[in-house]
Each structure stands twice: as structure tokens, then as C-alpha cells.
Amino acid sequence: MANRNNPPRKSLSAKQLSIPKAPTGITGLDEITEGGFPTGRPTLVSGSAGAGKTMLATEFLVRGATQFNEPGVFLMFEENSEELTANVRSLGFDLDKLSAEKKIVLDHVRIERSEIEETGEYDLEGLFIRLDHAIRSIGAKRVVLDTLEALFAGLPSHAILRAELRRLFRWLKERGITALVTGETGEASLTRYGLEEYVADCVITLDHRVTGQVSTRRLRVVKYRGSSHGTNEYPFLIGEHGLSVLPITSLRLDHAAPTERFPTGIDGLDQMLGGKGVFRGASILVSGSPGTGKSSIGASFVNAACRRGERAILFAYEESADQIVRNMRSIGLDLAPWIKKGLLQIHASRPTLQGLEQHLLAMHDLIADFNPSVVAVDPISNLTFVRDDIEVKPTLMRLIDHLKKHEITAVFTSLTSGANSTTAPEDSQVGVSSLMDVWLLLRNHEMNGERNRTIYVLKARGMSHSNQVREFLLNDSGISLVDVYIGTDGVLTGTSRVAQEARERSDAELRLQSHARKLRQLASKRKTIESQIAALQADLDVESAELDFSVAEEAARIENDRRNLDKMAIRRGSQLSAKDSLKKGKR
């Protein structure tokens, strides 16, 4: 328990606890070493011939001088300055310019064993004086010694060699110089003398292996005193811009998640994805058996991006660029104008042209130069021709994370087998479906002697999506999706669906005609009844008029009788009124 005498220690981050480090500026290496090489201490880089030791050392020195304002001294014992300058010029490193600017000192020390034997005992004292002068001349912070084997080639005694080796590393450390020493790999140890790895504070091994006629360079941090570091083997490449280390396990899932969505270029597919398409920066897997339309969907994504005025890159491993343009034109996708406008690049090559890492590095460089918003790779399953699945998945993981980090939407097509209506849902051939945000599964549906394509959304992270199967049509007018017919006889596609839909339309038309006929009969009957009612009403009116006439006639007769009686009474002289006469008559 903490008390006043033993106050609790403040927790420190791993970076705070680590020793000071000098960044190398090499892509990926600083991430693996969590900051670079130990500052003021020697680092040993061992490897076989051609592994890339001198290139790594040169870039460490050049990056230090140009990016971190740390001048350096390159002490070489095999190549001379002119040879080294010429060799690294292809990487864009101008050592002559850096030397003229006093940012780098190149010093070639020629060591001949025959001359040493003639002059007597040999030690490193002269080397220390020479190196110290070079360091002081430009205020160097970094030093490279390339290589130890050439430096100690003149020492016949192993005991003297070990003593001088310890003295060299101690001398470098006492001066606080961040040193990089290269050495060749021994038969049973990391180095030829088996001592360098013990006296160095950081040890890195480079390996150059050939598997399946494809060469690969690997890097591993074997030892790093006072610091945590990645311990796996990491592939690295020497490209046009220097070394690139491709870490995988140290990558963090800290990329942004854009909320913007854009259409896929296929209206029906957008509707299946909630009506808005996919998220920007999403990774989309389109898998299916041969001929299901994977490449067409990938081209639709690319075409839609160009229509929005955005840039896109299509990496193709089966067809040439001209072949893709021609074939896509047959389904209404004309990619040629986008290429002409500079919105689309198609890079087509056989997967065997390069190793996986070289493919990945080439993609990185092209993406960095072109800055696209959509990248399509068609198909990723072809990469397995040069490596097994274990190698392909980490490579794709690196590519996916790189694209996500730059919010680039990626479309990967993958060839699968066993994709028909009776088999279980297939997995992607290279096992990368778990890395994808959206998975579109294309399948062949065979029935009644014909094959039809279907599509459905197997998953779509972060968006509502349809669970319905759609029929997938490719024709001259483009790509379209239609609902499959689901009835008592099962799911119908193709001509079966068309025939069933025609029958349903015919039945509906017959029902409409029957209904109209019944309506006409009803109207006719209503009209007849209304006519009969009118005739009866007319008869009724005639009889009513006749009755009124009879009543009026009777009233007129009575009036006429009264008048006659009145006239008769007047003639007889009677004072009786005709009315009284009538009353008497009635009695």
C-alpha cells in the first residue's frame, strides 16, 4: 500500500520509459523499433551478401542529414566513395551534394593484409584518429562503418580481434555517436566473429531468401537494449525511394471512419445497400466463380468514381489494359475517356512478374503518386500463384490498412470454387473476407438448361442491406439487377423467370378483361331496368291525368246542375234558392 514514505509511482508510457532514439526515416523501420536506433549507441546490422546492409546504412545516414539535421560520417572499407555515390544515385541520394554541403563525409579506408604483415602489429588507433577528425570536421551525430569483416581482415589473432572489436564499440559509445556497423552473417551465429551481437546495443539481421524462384528480403530486430520492439520477421524492399519495411503486427487500427457514402455505379446494388451505396474508405470484396461478373463490378466502381470526377486505379492480373477497355465497352462501360482525361490508370501485369512485397510496394508508390479515391484489384486470388495463402493474407492486410488510412475505397475481386445454388456459401479463396467491410457474393444458378448469375450482400458493416437474392444481368446497356421469382416451385431465374412473369401478366390481363365484361353487363342491365321504370312511370302519369280529368268533369257537372236549378226556381217564382232546392231534392 502506498504511504508518505513510499509514494505511489506515476505511471509512465512505454515511450517515456524508453531510451532516446535517433529516427532512421526509413518507412516502417521506425515503427518496428518504436522510434529508430538507440541514440549515442552502436547498432549492428548483419546479413548475407546482397541483403541490403550498405543500402540501409546509407539511407540511415542520408535521412539523418536531410531530415533530422544530424550530419554523418560514412567510413567504408570495401567500396570507395565514387562507387558508393554511383550505387545509391538511383535511389535519389546525391552524396556528392551532401558532401559539398558538409552534411556527410565519405571516407574510404583501404586495408590490405599483405601490407599489414609487412609493417607489423596492427590495431585501430589510427582508425580512431581518422574517424575522430571526420566527426569533428562536420559535427557528425551519426557514423557508419561498412563492414567489420573488411576492417578486421588484417588481424590474424582472434584474441586481438575480439579486444579491438570491444574497443571500437566502446570508443563509439563514449563519444555519444549513433553508430551503425555492418557485418556479415556467420555460419553458426549472427556474425562472423560471434562477438559483435553481444557488444552492440541493437542488433538487426537482414535476410535474402529465394522461395519458388521469387526472392524476398526480410528484416528482424534481434536485440534492442532498453527498449521494446517488434520481434517478427518483416519483409522489406529496396525501391526507387529507398528501403521500405512492411510491418504487419505493429499496425494499429486507428484509421478514421468517414460517414460519406457514394454510389457503386449499379443502381440495383445501391438499393440493396440501403439506397446510398458504400462508405468512402470501405474495403469491398467481390467473390464468385469464373464468369459471374466480378471484373465487371470492379470496373463499375472505377467508372462511377471517374464519373464523379475522382481518380481511380485498376490493378489487373489477368487482362491487359486494352483488353479490359474493350471488354468493358461491351457492357456499356467506356473507360477510355477516363484514361484520356487522366482520371483512370490501369496497371496490368502477371502476378509472377514480381514477388508479393514488390507488388505491394509498387502499389504503394503508384497510389502515393496518383492519389486515387478508388482502387480496384482484380483478382487478389491470382496472387496465390506465387505464394501460398499464408503469405497473401498479411500482404493484403497491409494494403487494406494502407488504403483505409488514406480513406481510399478498395474493391478486391476473388475467384472462388463451388459457387452454385446447391453448395454452402463459399469463402474467399485467400481467406481475407474477415478483413472486408462489404462482401458481395456472386453465384451461378443453373436450371432448365441455362446458367444465370445471382448476387447478394453477404455482409455490409455499418449499413442496412438487403438479404434478398437478385439476378445479375450483363448486357449492352450495362449492369442491372432484377428480382428473382420466388414461387411455390422455388426460385426462378433467366428464361424461367421471364416465362413465369409472362404467364402472370397474361393471367392478370384475362382477369381485367373478365372484370370489364361484368361491368358492361351490369351497366346494360341497369339501363334496361331504368327504361322499364320510365315506362311504368309514364303509365302512372297517364292514369293520374285521367283520374284528375274525371274528378274535374264531375265537379263541372254538379255546378252545371246547380245553375240549372237556380234558373228553374227563378222561372217558377219560388223564393227558394237553388241550393235549398237541391237540399230538398237530396232529402
Catalytic positions are 78, 318
Outline where DSSP puts E strands in 178-260.
Answer: 178-184, 202-211, 214-224, 234-239, 242-245
Phi, psi of 464 (to 5 degrees): -70, 145
Give the Cα separation of 331 and 192 in Å (integer): 63
164 backbone φψ class: left, alpha, beta (φ>0; ψ -120 to 50): alpha
Long-range contact list for 9-16, CB < 8 A, 24+ apart? 14/228
Q: How many CB atoms lie within 10 A of CB 197?
A: 19
Please give the backbone phi and psi of residue 340, each rounded to the nearest 5 degrees, phi first.
-65, -35
Cα gap 373→381, rounded to integer Å: 23
Cis omega before residue 147 (within 30°)?
Answer: yes
Phi, then psi, of 484 in degrees rounded to 5: -75, 160
DSSP 404-463: HHTT-EEEEEEE-S--BTTSPPPPPTTS-GGG-SEEEEEEEEEETTEEEEEEEEEEETTS
Q: Which of 305, 308, 480, 481 is nearest to 410 (CA)?
A: 305
Q: Would you give the end-to-end CA distance of the chain in angstroms?
A: 143
Distances (CA, A) of 250 to 28, 217, 221, 364, 572: 10, 19, 13, 18, 150
Cell reading at 581: 232546392
- What does the DSSP 8-state code read for residue 351? G
